[in-house]
């Protein structure tokens, strides 16, 4: 049996910088510990150290996503760019042991392909096997 760890977190240096730029009165209290020291190093690492930690914990596959608040506490223009760049970074890391869920900036209309996929999720045709989500397989297979 495979052990799949859901909601494992990662971040990019750019997203962390965005979090640090938020006015302190609007910043999430947990972000300070996520952008400094050992926690920051672990969030940034998607390589050997993370895979070793997964091995030690008996985890076969990690489903990665940005931690809360993701890009939701950032200005919309900045958030859209950071969501796109972090999604692209995550996609480049996909492999047999890493998958993920993408970040969306919800202050602006969803892009057409995101609306399509949300519709597929609710209509029962998700997951799809395609280039963006290479490890997703319909349950009927």
Same-domain check for residues 96 and 114: no
pLDDT of residue 126: 38
Sheet holding 98-100, edge to edge: 4-9, 61-65, 98-100
Pairing state between β 4-9 and 98-100: unpaired
pLDDT of residue 108: 59
pLDDT of residue 101: 81
Residue 28 to residue 55: CA distance in whole angstroms: 31
The answer to whether 100 and 65 are in contact (CB under 8 A) is yes
pLDDT of residue 69: 84
Residue-number span of the structural domain to which 15 is assigned: 4-103
Same-domain check for residues 67 and 120: no
pTM value is 0.69
What string of pLDDT tens digits covers the 141 residues of the chain? Answer: 899 999 899 999 999 999 888 887 767 676 777 888 898 999 999 999 999 999 999 999 999 999 888 888 888 888 889 998 998 898 888 888 888 887 877 665 555 555 544 444 444 443 434 444 444 434 443
Same-domain check for residues 113 and 98: no
Same-domain check for residues 116 and 98: no
Same-domain check for residues 99 and 113: no
Please give the backbone phi and psi of residue 121, each rounded to the nearest 5 degrees, phi first: -60, -45
């Amino acid at each position: 049996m495979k052990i799949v760890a859901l909601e494992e977190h990662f971040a990019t240096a750019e997203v962390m910088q965005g979090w640090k730029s938020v006015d302190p009165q609007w910043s999430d209290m947990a972000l300070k510990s996520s952008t400094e020291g050992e926690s920051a190093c672990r969030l940034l690492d998607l390589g050997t150290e993370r895979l070793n930690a997964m091995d030690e914990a008996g985890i076969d596959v990690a489903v990665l996503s940005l931690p809360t608040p993701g890009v939701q506490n950032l200005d919309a223009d900045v958030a859209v760019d950071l969501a796109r760049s972090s999604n692209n970074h995550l996609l480049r890391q996909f492999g047999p042991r890493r998958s993920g869920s993408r970040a969306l900036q919800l202050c602006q209309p969803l892009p057409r392909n995101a609306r399509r996929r949300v519709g597929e999720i609710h209509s029962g045709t998700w997951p799809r096997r395609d280039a963006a989500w290479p490890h997703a397989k319909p349950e009927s297979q």
